[in-house]
Amino acid sequence: MDLGSRDAFDRNGTLGIEEEFFVVDDQGRPTAGTDELVYGSDPPEILVDRLDHELFKCVLETQTPTIDSLSDARGVLDEVRSALVEHAREHGYGVAAAGLHPVARWRELEHAEKPRYRSQLERIQYPQHRNTTAGLHVHVGVDDADKAVWIANELRWYLPIILALSANSPYWNGYDTGLQSARAKIFEGLPNTGVPTAFEDFEAFQRFERTMIENGSINDRGELWFDVRPHSEHGTVEVRTPDAQADPERVMAFVEYTDALVEDLSSRYDDGEAGTDHRRELLDENKWRAIRRGHDVSLLTPEWDEEVGLDELVDRECSRLGISGIGAVYDAESGAERQRRLLETEGADALCSALSVD
């Protein structure tokens, strides 16, 4: 049984970016292309062992190499994305990004044959059959396993800020859900998702992993799909909250914010700060507000005694952490608003085209 190791947590500040994309045809519609792109051809060098598919044959995932610092992240992200787009183009496909593809209908899409996903489909049934989601995952290196668990615990309150800003999936299965991030709600239909409870330390987290595997609840630790988790193979804290984004500037805003949060919390842990004891139900309430309202959300404060608008929260965070990316994201039209505007004013073809990754 592979549960990872404390020893993996040996370095602060490294970064890794995982992005899920839709394979699309020349009309920008999702199409089965992963057999050819993942198995039927050799990818560019930077994507070797860093290109995989997800549950559906129209969804790919890329992983960057380990990035030493934030200053290097944009260059690596651009290199990975360019390689993927060129690889897809050479085989007659395009690449698109959003939390859910607005015209995808899950009953009409092909599932992958990979044994891992076939096992999940058999075990989970309907919630996994409809899981056409695509997300952005950000890893930040941490130099101590217990610290990583503490940071993951503390990050839980900040996740709705990230989700609200990234909300980019109003449409699912061909209709407007009334949500800003329907992806987050669809994905919560799976087991072992959403906001996790707090763990006392790394031993407690590993004990939980072991229990889930030994009792057949999951096949491996990768099936703990929580919004944030310590990753005991990579030695990172992994934030899995944002919707996928076509615009690399938005991706980098969430990378910058996540990196700054982990750095700040790491210092606070080193200074002996006590952790908070948030109820999961209240954390879930903030997440629901982000799902429903996106940029227009007001969140409950960590003291749970008042609401604060996203505009004020973003200003506070940019000032407190010395960052700017999420401020620019907030000031711009949200992904969900843009999708609705394009569909209403220009139609489905324009909307699909706007999700293209160049």
Look at residue 109 and tell me whether its pLDDT is greater than 90: no
Count CB atoms within 10 A of the CB of residue 37. 22
Only one residue has tokens 């370095």, namely: 11
Quote the pLDDT of residue 156.
Answer: 98
Q: Write out the DSSP string of 43-93.
A: PPGGGTTSEEE-SBTTEEEEEPPPBSSHHHHHHHHHHHHHHHHHHHHHTT-
Quote the pLDDT of residue 3.
Answer: 78
- Structural domain spans, the chain: 6-354
Look at residue 146 and tell me whether its pLDDT is greater than 80: yes
Look at residue 103 and tell me whether its pLDDT is greater than 90: yes
For the segment 14-42, the average pLDDT, to the nearest whole number, is 96
Phi, psi at 140, each rounded to 5°: -130, 125
Please write the tens of the pLDDT for every residue from 303-326: 999 999 999 999 999 999 999 999
State the average pLDDT for the chain.
96
Q: In whole angstroms, what is the distance from residue 163 CA to residue 169 CA?
A: 11
Band of residue 1 on the pLDDT scale cut at 50, 70, 90:
low
Token readout for 192 is 């072992």
pTM to 2 decimal places: 0.97
6-354, which class in CATH?
alpha beta
Please write the tens of the pLDDT for every residue from 56-88: 999 999 999 999 999 999 999 999 999 999 999
Quote the pLDDT of residue 254.
Answer: 98
Q: Where are the alpha helices (DSSP H) in 91-201?
A: 115-124, 126-129, 145-155, 159-166, 182-187
For the segment 182-192, the average pLDDT, to the nearest whole number, is 97
User: Which of 276, 147, 162 minimizes the C-alpha distance to 205?
Assistant: 147
- Which residues make Cβ contacts (< 8 Å) with residue 30, sequence separation at least 6? 22, 23, 24, 56, 58, 96, 101, 103, 104, 109, 132
Candidate from 3-7, 49-53, 314-318 with smallest mean pLDDT: 3-7
Quote the pLDDT of residue 355.
Answer: 98
End-to-end CA distance of the chain: 41
Token readout for 300 is 């409950």
- Strands 15-24 and 59-63, sheet pairing: antiparallel
